[in-house]
Amino acid sequence: MSPALIIHSAGPGVTVQDLGREGYLAQGLSRGGAADRLAVAEGAALLGQDASLAVLEMAGFGGVFEPDAPMRVALTGAPMRATVDGETLVWNASHTVMPGQHLSISTALKGVYGYLHVGGGIDTPMALGSRSAHLTAGIGAAVAAGDRLPVGKDRQDAGRTGMVLSGADRFRGGVVRVVPSAQTHLFPDAQRARFEATGFTRDARGNRQGVRLAHGAEPFAAEGQLSILSEVIVPGDIQMTGDGTPYVLLPECQTMGGYPRIGTVVPEDLPIVAQAAPGTILGFRFVTLESALQSHRQSHAQAASDMKKRLGPLVRDPRKIQDLLSFQLISGVISGMEPDE
């Protein structure tokens, strides 16, 4: 029998996620998948496995988990308080958990989405080519107490844990890059300039479909806003809702909408929006398609080597552990927040 992860308790937003299902736009189903795709890649690097394997996404709060066989795990994304039988585990690192041990993950210290990865990946049945729960569409269900999640076969040469991954702090908001969308031109220049100059606060209203951004300024509006025909939506689109408040669409968004889009957040910066906890300040800056593409190409080409550079052995020095828990930004790591060249 394949190993399993026993769920003793789980927060309300714990779901199985992978990179989602693409190709169903014409059928009205958005991609879904992990809200922070970078975290999925980080966990895969920590465990030396493929990023297509499914993980547990924990929105704001984890749960209590127990493997029924020795199991490699990795913790990434929003740092959360994690213990095994009372002993603190370093976040952004890989560990081994034994049967009988309780891995307890509580509140996010910052950010929104934490991730629990297991060696071999969560091996629940696929639906439409993915293991991702897409609760908005009625695919899958949240993980709940009493569940036993099947886990895939771990690598033959597994056993290597105690690795840590440095950097990539994307949990404190900041300025994200935006490229023009199909309706950007409907917003007058002055509106776009004001949009770039405004600091937005991530509202309490936010989930895997999108996040609302509050602001004290006067409402933003496109020309002829009310007569715009519903049009295709892609994740990252910033739609201006009827009250003139931006709403950034995330992986579980609807596939079509009638609100005008002022722009689209570039994929590399989308995790910053997804990981912005309520109250976090976010700003937007338009970049050209060429510049965004260049950075996309670069980050794609360097993804593997960057990840390798960030990976190192976990030093079990209590002072270091404190440091890592506070999650300092290591210089030289691309956070997606650097000014654009």
Partner 1 sequence: MGLSGVLVTFADELSETANRAALAFRDRVEADRWEGIEETAVSLSSAFLRFDPLCVAQKEITVRLSRLLDSEDWYAAALPSGRRRWRIPTVFGGPQAPQFDEVAELAGLSSDKAVAELTARPVRVMTIGFAPGLPYMGILPAHWDIPRQTALTPLVPASAVVLAVRQLIIFSTPTPTGWRHIGQTCFRGFRPETETPFVLRSGDEVSLVSVSAEKLNRLKADPKTNGGATCEPIP
Tokens 């099947």 identify what position?
150
Q: Which is nearer to partner 1, 298 or 328 (CB)?
A: 298
How many other C-beta atoms lie within 10 A of the C-beta of residue 199?
14
Burial 230-247 (b: 16+ CB within 10 A, else e): eeebbbbbbbbeeeebbb
> Would you state the structure tokens that stand for residue 316, as one six-digit string?
């079990």
Q: Footprint of partner 1 on this chain (CB under 8 A)? A: 22-29, 127-128, 136-139, 179, 181-182, 227, 229-232, 234, 236-237, 254-257, 261, 264, 266-267, 289, 292-293, 296-297, 300
Q: Which is nearer to partner 1, 127 or 329 (CB)?
A: 127
**What is the nearest approach in angstroms of partner 1 to the Cβ of residue 11?**
24
> Would you state the structure tokens that stand for residue 39, as one six-digit string?
């975290």
Q: Which is nearer to partner 1, 115 or 284 (CB)?
A: 284
Q: Which is nearer to partner 1, 3 or 236 (CB)?
A: 236
Please report the DSSP string for 249-291 in residue order.
E-TT--SEESSPEEEEE-GGGHHHHHT--TT-EEEEEE--HHH
Q: Which is nearer to partner 1, 6 or 135 (CB)?
A: 135
**What is the nearest approach in angstroms of partner 1 to the Cβ of residue 291?**
11
The C-alpha angle with vertex 114 and arms to 309 and 54, in degrees rounded to 5, equals 80
Q: Which of these, 236, 239, 234, lies nearest to 183 by C-alpha position? A: 239
**What is the nearest approach in angstroms of partner 1 to the Cβ of residue 119?**
29
Q: Give the whole-angstrom CA distance, residue 336 versus residue 210.
A: 19
**What is the nearest approach in angstroms of partner 1 to the Cβ of residue 199?**
24
**What is the nearest approach in angstroms of partner 1 to the Cβ of residue 179?**
6
Q: Which is nearer to partner 1, 40 or 179 (CB)?
A: 179
Assign residue 30 a region (left: φ > 0; alpha: ψ between -120 and 50; beta: otherwise): beta
Q: Give the whole-angstrom CA distance, residue 254 versus residue 24.
A: 12
**What is the nearest approach in angstroms of partner 1 to the Cβ of residue 305?**
17
